[in-house]
Structure 1
Amino acid sequence: MDGGRDSEIAMGAYQPGYLATRNRAARGQVHGFRVALWQEHLGRDAAAEAAGDLLQPSSLACVRRMNQVAEKHWAMFADDSFRGDLPGHLMAYPVGVGSGGELLNTRDKFPDTNAKVLGTKSNILPPILTT
């Protein structure tokens, strides 16, 4: 997350007038912004289905829902017979993690390319361009 790629975006936001309590999550403009981003990246239908889970962003149910939608979008993207637009932007990266922490690729190359999922180190290009 060094800012070297446009796919690596993170931000922090704080709104002291809207703090979470033991019984209620914060519901200020930061909350509204987060929900709008999720609606954009999940797609309207998936965001509507997940509405209850999205109100508790730190919950296991929310994490599972996000992963479920990301996997669905990746499966659609990687399906050679899929035609049309994806319903959202969020996709799972096609790797798994083994019990020893090693990376496991679920496919060798990205669809329609010769680009390896796990990549390789270059002897010519600097690491900032390849890793």
Structure 2
Amino acid sequence: MARRHRRFMVYVHSKGMIVDEEYVIVGSANINQRSLAGSRDTELAVGAYQPHHTTAASAAGTTRRPRGKVFGYRMSLWEEHLGKEVVRRWPELVERPESPECVGLVSRIARDN
């Protein structure tokens, strides 16, 4: 029936990546022949770059973490997927996703789910 009426199901498989709190890309594009040939799948991706929002060390030896829009987007994803209570309870962990403590926290939450 779908072929007769030329209607087909649409599946959107999206993915995202955040790099160094400075770059973000979100979309459905894949790096393969089907996506890149231009005659088969329709793909879309949006990228954003927010320069000068990387981690920086101060003269006093303390580290300043970025607080730009990309950081805000990542934190909203943490709240959505881990829960607002987790982000409020352990802000020092989720603000440092590269830390072993944050990896352990996310692993525990995933295991419990």
Gaps of 5+ in 2: 1-10, 24-48, 58-62
> How many matched pairs?
69
Does 2:78 align with 1:38? yes
Residue in structure 1 matching 2:97, options 57, 61, 82: 57
Gaps of 5+ in 1: 74-131
2-side partners of 1:67 and 1:5: how far apart? 27
2-side partners of 1:36 and 1:45: how far apart? 12
TM (normalized to structure 2)? 0.52
The higher-RCO structure (CA 8 Å, 6+ apart) is 2
| SS at structure 2 position matched to 1:69 | helix
Residue in structure 2 matching 1:18, options 50, 53, 56: 53
Report deviation, 1:17: 2.8
- Structure with more of its chain in strand, by fraction: 2
Report deviation, 1:5: 6.5
- Counting only pairs closer than 5 Å after superposition, residues 112-123 of structure 1 correspond to structure 2 as none
Larger Rg, first or second structure (1 or 2): 2
2-side partners of 1:57 and 1:21: how far apart? 16
Report deviation, 1:37: 0.5
Amino acid of the structure 2 residue aligned with 1:46: V
TM (normalized to structure 1)? 0.46
Residue in structure 1 matching 2:110, options 57, 65, 70: 70
1-side partners of 2:73 and 2:96: how far apart? 14
